[in-house]
């Protein structure tokens, strides 16, 4: 690790101010950032911890029924506190990493990082959630811009993620055997006005919506409705753990399983 | 009746109290006053010529004590290889130099180029970033078959090619073996890869060296399975130091699995630098460094052919293997694909004609050496996979085919240089069939099929040559060391006993099992016996712990030393009891005169030994004896394993539903520890079979360089194991009748798993002959869909 300053503000305003310094960086749970620093792959001038900001931690149900999760809320808290209000999302959070990772890692950190194999991006995009930052609100459809890339500006922090709650939803995760991130993860959410299907782990462009599956399922919400649909392997990730073709195949299998689990 | 103490009792592992409560003392827990830290600048390319290294900016950085490069080691020896293999023409293997820090070239990602010693590790690392290395990248030599071709890029410019040796064992007459194959009723051929593994002990390697100007003495604390071997190699071959001025300590060691047998450059470096800097120098490997500097395991590419007659008797076996040695010869690497592999190709079978051919290759990868099983898993995997394929081709039951060809007469001389002293392969297979409920498999398959899963049963037999080894034999085969072991039994005045043993314990449970033997022989409580190990200044000598040898070899030395102690104690007891020595019996810690009620307690005799007021004048005071033990033969543990898997045909995911092991380890000292050794070994074998894959890309970059991509088995990847150790044919040539159990699980399990997966897939109507390990979901799916 290179040397850096450390700050732990207690309000969003103070955090934003601290992040104004050149090369300052937000620290969520540190589950991605700290290993990066240890390998000397990043050299921020200051780390601004978000874990002391009470207004950014916790799960609550808004008047319109949506579930709002503070940007610095650890995965374990979501797994516990969203279990009744949004069980599919709570289940997703409960499948991230191991207990240590879930007790430290945060939703804001995960979504901001947009790892192509991370789970939350599928839940956020599949739910059509809204990412709330210190300056604006961003629809999930506009937020994820490809592997490790998002609509966030320099110094902008995710203060909350707001999820509309679908009638039924399920996240099916096929584990990458080593990291146990998603080799392929599919989040299916059925709303009154249609179905959303978000896929993580599979594509070289990061999390994406499988629109053909959404159209078919919006017509008929059954696994069989996906029978003739195939994902083009071309833009899929091919690596040590699975070829492009295998990942494309898994997208179909996991989507079908998620649909069946919703029924 | 299970015993509650002594030989045969499942005494609880006393060392676990400190291991499980955080009270262990590992090398990294040790810090020396004023110690400096070393950071190794390692190559980030697989192969390159070093044009220049400029360290001047680094030397000027804060906290830097000294910067070392290959030049600083020009007058010093390189890392030695402990086994000279002779090739098929009688010529010695090609043995390239292995410098402590790279000289002239870098030969694998991770090869150390320079070392910075500084006040803190972070300062050392900062300075390492300021070292300028001018390298010309060369093509990386990776594919073994291509590396063997004439004109291939050379890993070592001074060698004639990349072939360390082209070795042969068994049948010499090619016309004869070709004739057998040509006329055989059936020939089964299989190409397979034994995947490269990273051992990944939980504790990474650490070295801390101190030098005293006052006494000209060195102390090296290191994570080793064999501190005396490290001292011998480092003193005699690398640094040229007198052994009596060097103490090597291997304190608690957090797992070795073979990879901590070897003498590593970092150990020699710290010892050298401690004097050069006149400060203690410490190195603690990061996990990332471990992936590119710990010797790796396996990595064989083989073609095996089995010839059968019309009655399905095995009539000949031939195998051709390319074995990857990596960029340099690690300490025992040359012995692994040869004497630890070729000699095992007979397996449990009486195949009369066997020919083994091995080309050992240099490549631009991390050195490869012994890893749990070392050569024997590679042999077992080839043999048991080809037998399984033959059974499928012939449409015969795989258990029946194996049984039909079992060796049944002992001693048995194999065509590949070994003499099996004893065994009962049918008896062990009977145990397996009962314990694994083989008869009930069909019903379990039907249940799985009802859930949409394919179920498979995989059978495997194994034999291993353990307890290495008779020194005269291994000497003839090229070993540059003897493989005896030693123990000193020191009886204290009040009757408690310290046993200084050459075998190092790094998870095996010696501290519990060894006292059971000594306590049992004397008839005292186990808690009165303590094992001392891991320090060259405390133990007589020791070749260390590997090859499932500790109990069979060092335990035998301990028995011999204890016998000497008892003999002497009987002399003292006879004196005290005013009886003849021949009439003295020792039982339950009491010496008595046969046929009388006269007796004297162990403690009274030991006290007399140290307070010799009333003492036989012809006997020396004190009670301490040392014995060295050199085994007469290898030991031959053998077993039969059964694995049941379910395969999800949609995703290719394999789950292990049941795993049963029936092993014959001869006599057993502590059944619980033996079960644990087997559990751990099977866990590692399942890891190899399903998960672990050390893979390089076409430039020699390690693709699986961290736990993000290198899949270790986790608790939920393995089932609850069934183990049966009731088949026991005691070893005929060591005093305890023990055979060794440490590697069996890792040797016997990979073929059982792969055989099971193929059985499952074939039951689903897919004619699939083979899938290379790791049998990952993606590989299974690909095989099913191509
Ligand atoms: C062993 C292990 C297993 C894991 N398994 C999984 C898994 O199965 N599935 C999965 O999805 N993830 C997994 N993860 C990743 C984990 O979920 C991380 O918590 C997550 O990716 C990053 O969250 P964090 O809070 O730790 O962020 P940090 O590491 O602190 O930060 C990550 C990045 O986000 C930025 N950042 C942090 N918080 C905010 C914010 N509120 N607003 C804007 N930017 C912010 C940081 O500046 C940094 O660039 C695993 C991690 C580990 C170590």
Structure tokens at B477: 């085969």
The mean pLDDT value for A168-193 works out to 98
- Distance between CA atoms of residues B400 and B642, nearest Å: 14
B675 and B777 assigned to the same domain: yes
Among residues B586, B605, B629, the one where a domain terminates is: B629
B216-257 tens-digit pLDDT: 999 999 999 999 999 999 999 999 999 999 999 999 999 999
Q: Which residues of A are less than 8 Å from B781 in CB distance?
A: 246, 249
- Does the residue A66 lie in any domain? no
Residue A33 included in any domain: yes
What does the alpha-carbon distance between residue B361 and residue B96 come to, in Å, rounded to a whole number?
Answer: 12
Interchain CB contact of A147 with B (< 8 Å) = no
Q: Is the dihedral of CA B250, B338, B298, B656 positive or negative?
A: negative
Looking up residue B239, the CATH number of its domain turns out to be 3.90.1170.50
The minimum CA-CA distance between A179 and chain B, rounded to whole Å, is 4
Q: What is the CATH number of the domain that holds A36?
A: 3.30.43.10
A158 closest CA partner among A7, A38, A15: A15
pLDDT for the residue B1? 55
Residue A104 placed within a domain: no
Chain A contacts of B695, Cβ < 8 Å? 240
- Res. B324: pLDDT tops 70: yes
Whether residue B456 is found in the same domain as residue B568 = no
Any domain includes B180? no
Q: Which of B591, B609, B629 is the last residue of a domain?
A: B629
CA A135 / ligand 1 centre spacing (Å): 21
Structural domains of chain B, count? 3
Q: Do the Cβ atoms of B606 and B595 come closer than 8 Å?
A: no
Q: What is the ipTM of this complex?
A: 0.96
Whether residue A175 is predicted with pLDDT greater than 90 in this model: the reply is: yes
Is there a domain that residue A43 lies in?
Answer: yes
Query: Which chain A residues have a beta carbon less than 8 Å from that of B776?
Result: 177, 241-242
Residues of A in contact with B703 (CB under 8 A): 239-240
- CATH number of B427's domain: 3.30.365.10
Interchain CB contact of B784 with A (< 8 Å): no
pLDDT digits (tens, 9 = 90+) for B413-439: 999 999 999 999 999 999 999 999 999
Q: Are residues B564 and B495 in the same domain?
A: yes
CA R_g for chain A: 18
Residue A48, H or E segment:
strand A46-49
The residue in chain B having the minimum alpha-carbon distance to the alpha carbon of residue A184 is B651
Q: Are residues B730 and B589 in the same domain?
A: no
Domain extent, residue A22, equals 1-50
Q: What is the mean pLDDT of residues A191-203?
A: 97
Residue A229, domain member (yes or no): yes
Measured distance CA(A255)–CA(A229) in Å, rounded: 11
Residue B383 confidence (pLDDT) above 90: yes
Distance A117 CA to ligand 1 centre (A): 12
Phi, psi of B431 (to 5 degrees): -60, -40
Q: Which residues in chain B have their CB less than 8 angstroms from residue A177's CB?
A: 690-691, 711, 776-777
Tell me the Ramachandran region of residue B467: left when phi exceeds 0, alpha when psi lies from -120 to 50, beta otherwise: left
Region B49-67: what's the mean pLDDT? 98
Question: With pLDDT > 70 as the criterion, what percentage of chain B qualifies?
Answer: 100
Asked if A174's CB is within 8 angstroms of B651's CB, the reply is yes
Q: Positive or negative, the Cα torsion across B618, B620, B621, B622?
A: negative
Confidence of residue B2 (pLDDT cuts 50, 70, 90): low
Please tell me if residue B125 touches chain A, with a CB cutoff of 8 Å.
yes
Look at chain A and report how many structural domains it folds into.
2
Do B624 and B638 belong together in one domain? no
Please say whether the beta carbons of B11 and B668 come within 8 A: no
> What pLDDT score does B786 carry?
87
Same domain, B120 and B245: yes
Beta bridge partners of B529: B497
How large is the average pLDDT for residues B596-601? 96
Q: Whose CA is nearest to atom 23 of ligand 1?
A: A109
At B418, give phi and psi (nearest 5°).
-105, 160
Averaged pLDDT, A20-24: 96
CATH of the domain at A232: 3.30.390.50
Nearest CA of chain A to the CA of B656: how many Å? 15
Closest atom of ligand 1 to A115 CA is 21
Q: Tell me what pLDDT residue B766 has.
A: 87
Question: What are the backbone dihedrals phi and psi of residue B715, each rounded to the nearest 5 degrees, phi first?
Answer: -55, -40
A224 found inside a domain: yes
pLDDT score at A57? 98
A72 Cα nearest atom in ligand 1? 41
**DSSP H/E element including B661:** strand B654-664
- What is the tens place of the pLDDT at every residue in B668-677? 999 999 999 9
pTM exceeds 0.90, yes or no? yes
Question: Does pLDDT of B199 surpass 70?
Answer: yes
Establish if B114 belongs to a structural domain.
Answer: yes
Q: What is the pLDDT at residue B764?
A: 86
Distance CA B730, CA B748 (A): 20
Residue A219 lies in a domain: yes
B423 lies in the same domain as B457: yes
Two tokens, residue B655 = 């789950």
Q: Is residue B156 part of a domain?
A: no
Mean pLDDT in residue range A141-152? 97
> In angstroms, how far is the first alpha carbon of chain A from the final one?
49
**Residues B449, B502 within the same domain:** no
Would the pLDDT of B663 be above 60?
yes
Residue whose CA is at the smallest distance from ligand 1 atom 6: A97
Whether residue B663 sits in one domain with residue B609: no
pLDDT tens digits for range B160-173: 999 999 999 999 99
Domain containing B724 equals: 300-469+633-784
Do residue B625 and residue B695 come from a single domain? no
pLDDT for residue B469: 86
Asked if the model's pLDDT at residue B264 lies above 80, the reply is yes
**CA angle (B592, B490, B562) in 5-degree steps:** 50
Span from the CA of B484 to the centroid of ligand 1 (angstroms): 53
Cis peptide bond upstream of A169, omega within 30? no
Residue B492 in tokens:
């204290």
Q: Does A32 sit in the ligand 1 pocket, CB within 6 Å?
A: yes
Here the tokens at position B39 are 């950071």
Tell whether A155 is covered by a domain: no
Do B104 and B91 lie in one domain? The reply is: yes
Share the mean pLDDT of chain B.
Answer: 97
Distance, CA of B270 to CA of B276 (rounded, Å): 10
Kindly state whether residues B406 and B513 are assigned to the same domain.
Answer: no
Q: How many CB atoms lie within 10 A of CB B287?
A: 11
| A173, closest residue in chain B (CA to CA) | B651
Which pLDDT band, with edges at 50, 70 and 90, does B3 fall under?
Answer: confident
User: Could you give the CA distance from residue B513 to residue B558 in angstroms, rounded to a whole number?
Assistant: 12
Find the residue in A nearest to B775 (Cα).
A241
């Amino acid at each position: 690790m290179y040397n850096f300053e450390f700050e732990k503000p207690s309000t969003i305003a103070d955090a934003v101010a601290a992040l104004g310094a050149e090369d300052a960086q937000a620290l969520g749970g540190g589950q991605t950032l700290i290993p990066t620093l240890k390998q000397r792959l990043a050299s921020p001038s200051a780390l601004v911890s978000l874990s002391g900001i009470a207004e950014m931690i916790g799960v609550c149900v808004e008047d319109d029924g949506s579930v709002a999760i503070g940007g610095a809320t650890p995965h374990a808290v979501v797994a516990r506190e969203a279990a009744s209000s949004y069980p599919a999302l709570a289940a997703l959070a409960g499948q991230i990493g191991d207990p240590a990772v879930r007790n430290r890692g945060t939703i804001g950190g995960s979504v901001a990082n947009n790892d192509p194999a991370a789970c939350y991006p599928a839940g956020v995009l599949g739910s059509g959630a809204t990412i709330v930052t210190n300056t604006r609100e961003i629809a999930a459809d506009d937020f994820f811009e490809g592997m490790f890339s998002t609509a966030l500006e320099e110094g902008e922090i995710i203060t909350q993620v707001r999820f509309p709650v679908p009638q039924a939803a399920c996240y099916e995760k096929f584990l990458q055997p080593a990291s146990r991130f998603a080799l392929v993860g599919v989040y299916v959410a059925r709303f009154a006005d249609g179905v959303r299907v978000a896929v993580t782990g599979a594509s070289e462009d990061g999390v994406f919506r499988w629109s053909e599956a959404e159209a078919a399922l919006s017509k008929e919400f059954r696994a069989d409705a996906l029978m003739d649909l195939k994902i083009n392997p071309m833009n899929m990730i091919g690596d040590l753990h699975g070829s492009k073709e295998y990942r494309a195949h898994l997208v179909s299998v996991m989507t079908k399983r998620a649909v069946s689990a919703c029924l | 009746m299970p015993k509650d103490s002594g030989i045969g009792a499942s005494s609880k592992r006393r060392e676990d109290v400190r291991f499980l409560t955080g009270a262990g003392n590992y090398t990294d827990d040790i810090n020396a006053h004023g110690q400096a830290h070393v950071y190794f600048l390692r190559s980030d390319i697989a192969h390159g010529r070093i044009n220049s290294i400029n360290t001047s900016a680094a030397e000027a950085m804060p906290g830097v004590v000294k910067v070392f490069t290959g030049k600083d080691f020009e007058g010093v020896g390189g890392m030695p290889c402990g086994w000279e293999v002779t090739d098929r023409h009688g010529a010695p293997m090609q043995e390239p130099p292995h410098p402590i820090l790279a000289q002239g070239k870098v030969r694998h990602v991770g090869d150390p180029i320079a070392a910075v010693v500084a006040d803190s590790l972070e300062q050392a690392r900062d300075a390492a970033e300021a070292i300028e290395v001018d390298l010309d990248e060369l093509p990386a030599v990776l594919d073994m078959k291509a590396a063997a071709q004439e004109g291939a890029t050379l890993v070592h410019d001074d060698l004639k090619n990349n072939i360390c040796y082209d070795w042969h064992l068994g049948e010499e007459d090619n016309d004869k073996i070709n004739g057998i194959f040509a006329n055989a009723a059936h020939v089964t051929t299989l190409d397979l890869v034994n995947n490269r593994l990273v051992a990944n002990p939980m504790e990474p390697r650490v070295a801390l060296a101190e030098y005293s100007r006052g006494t000209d003495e060195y102390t090296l604390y290191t994570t080793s399975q064999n501190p005396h071997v490290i001292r011998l190699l480092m003193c005699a071959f690398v640094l040229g130091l007198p052994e009596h001025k060097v103490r090597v300590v291997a304190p608690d060691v957090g797992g070795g699995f073979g990879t901590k047998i070897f003498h590593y450059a970092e150990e020699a470096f710290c010892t050298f630098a401690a004097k050069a800097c006149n400060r203690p120098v410490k190195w603690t490997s990061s996990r990332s460094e471990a992936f590119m500097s710990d010797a790796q395991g396996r990595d064989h590419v083989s073609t095996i052919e089995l010839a059968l007659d019309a009655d399905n008797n095995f009539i000949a076996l031939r195998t051709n293997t390319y074995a990857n040695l990596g960029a340099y010869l690690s300490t025992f690497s040359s012995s692994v694909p040869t004497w630890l592999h070729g000699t095992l190709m007979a397996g449990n079978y009486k195949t009369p004609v066997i020919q083994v051919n091995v080309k050992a290759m240099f490549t631009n990868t991390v050195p490869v050496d012994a890893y749990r099983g070392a050569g024997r898993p590679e042999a077992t995997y080839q043999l048991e996979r080809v037998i399984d394929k033959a059974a499928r081709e012939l449409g015969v039951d795989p258990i029946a085919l194996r049984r039909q060809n079992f060796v049944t007469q002992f001693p048995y001389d194999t065509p590949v240089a070994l003499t099996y002293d004893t065994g009962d392969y049918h008896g062990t297979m009977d145990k397996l069939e009962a314990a694994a409920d083989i008869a009930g498999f069909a019903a379990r398959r039907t249940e799985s099929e009802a859930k949409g899963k394919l179920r498979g049963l995989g059978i495997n037999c194994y034999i291993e040559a353990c307890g290495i080894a008779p020194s005269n034999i291994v000497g003839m085969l090229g070993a540059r060391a003897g493989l005896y072991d030693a123990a000193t039994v020191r009886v204290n005045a009040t009757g408690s006993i310290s046993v200084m043993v050459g075998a190092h314990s790094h998870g095996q449970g010696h501290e519990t099992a060894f006292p059971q033997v000594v306590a049992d022989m004397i008839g005292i409580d186990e808690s009165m016996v303590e094992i001392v190990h891991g320090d060259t200044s405390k133990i007589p000598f020791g070749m260390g712990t590997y090859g499932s040898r500790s109990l069979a070899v060092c335990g035998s030395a301990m028995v011999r030393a204890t016998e000497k102690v008892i003999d002497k104690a009987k002399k003292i007891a006879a004196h005290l009891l005013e009886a003849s020595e021949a009439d003295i019996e020792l039982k339950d810690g009491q010496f008595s005169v046969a046929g009388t009620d006269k007796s004297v307690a162990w403690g009274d005799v030991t006290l007399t030994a140290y307070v010799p007021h009333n003492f036989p004048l012809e006997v020396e005071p004190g009670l301490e004896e040392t014995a060295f033990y050199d085994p007469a033969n290898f030991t031959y543990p053998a077993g039969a394993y059964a694995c049941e898997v379910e395969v999800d045909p949609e995703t290719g995911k394999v789950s292990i539903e049941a795993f049963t092991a029936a092993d014959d380890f001869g006599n057993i000292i502590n059944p619980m520890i033996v079960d644990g050794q087997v559990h751990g070994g099977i866990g590692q074998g399942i890891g190899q079979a399903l998960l672990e894959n050390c893979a390089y890309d076409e430039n020699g970059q390690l693709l699986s360089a961290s736990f993000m991509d290198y899949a270790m088995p986790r608790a939920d990847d393995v089932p609850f194991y069934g183990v049966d150790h009731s088949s026991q044919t005691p070893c005929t040539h060591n005093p305890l009748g023990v055979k060794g159990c440490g590697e069996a699980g890792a040797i016997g399990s990979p073929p059982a798993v792969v055989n099971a997966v193929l059985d499952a897939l074939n039951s689903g109507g897919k004619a699939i002959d083979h899938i290379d390990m790791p049998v990952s979901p993606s590989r299974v799916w690909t095989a099913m869909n191509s």
